[in-house]
Amino acid sequence: MKNKVLKRFLQVSVEMVGEALPRLPIAWRNMLFKCRLCGEKCCGLNPEVSEEDVERIRRIIPSFKPYVAPEGKLILVGENGFCPFLRNGLCTIHEYKPVLCRLYPFYPVEKKTIQSVLSLPVDVEIVRHGSKQYVFIFDEQCPGVGEGDPVDFKKLLETFLKAGFPPGSF
Ligand code: SF4
């Protein structure tokens, strides 16, 4: 169920953010993460992809076409709902993968948006960018959460913002 919620969340829209926020945990300072390369959770999501993502993937797979949702969002989806680039549990386009796959299991949300639906824990990680402040929700079902090194949330936010998703998306 949680995975379904996150899956829907990754196909971001303001309304969906409002629905998903109360159900997802918020990242804290010095939180640890190390990808186990298991493909268990992230590769079953259907993230929105940017035009840049599509161009990057087409460098190695020229025939790649994302699904175009009725509202115009570009979505990465394969048969059975899993990623079309997953082979034997591993990502085959690792260097070229979409930005939201790079961010997983974390996703930035503007602090004021999340504060409007729930109260923030005292040790929440807050990242500033210009006049805005962001916090990160995450998928606690990812087995890499809590392992490895502290997450560089500032870098994650820069990666996300550089991807050029519409401001209304987050
Ligand atoms: S550890 Fe998490 S991010 Fe890494 S492959 Fe597994 S589910 Fe995906």
What is the per-residue pLDDT across 77-127, written as a single tens digit (0 to 9) for each? 887 778 999 888 889 999 999 999 999 999 999 999 888 877 888 999 999
Q: Is 147 a member of any domain?
A: yes
Q: Is 170 a member of any domain?
A: no
Tokens of 54: 């599509």
Q: What is the pTM of this model?
A: 0.81
Ligand 1 centroid to residue 151 C-alpha, Å: 14
Closest CA to 162 of 72, 70, 99: 99
Q: Is 125 a member of any domain?
A: yes
Residue located nearest, by CA, to atom 2 of ligand 1 = 142
Best residue for ligand 1 mutational test, from 3, 10, 37 (most atoms within 8 Å of Cβ): 37
Q: In the chain, how many domains are there?
A: 1
Domain span at 67: 2-164
Pocket of ligand 1 (CB under 6 A): 35-42, 104-105, 142-144
Phi, psi angle pair for 10, to nearest 5°: -65, -25
Q: Is 169 a member of any domain?
A: no
Q: Is 71 a member of any domain?
A: yes
Ligand 1 centroid to residue 67 C-alpha, Å: 23
Residues 6+ apart with CB under 8 A from 124: 26, 27, 28, 29, 135
Give me the residue label for tokens 């109360």: 22
With a cut of 50, list the residues of the chain below it in pLDDT.
Answer: 1-2, 4-5, 8-17, 167-170
Best residue for ligand 1 mutational test, from 31, 38, 99 (most atoms within 8 Å of Cβ): 38
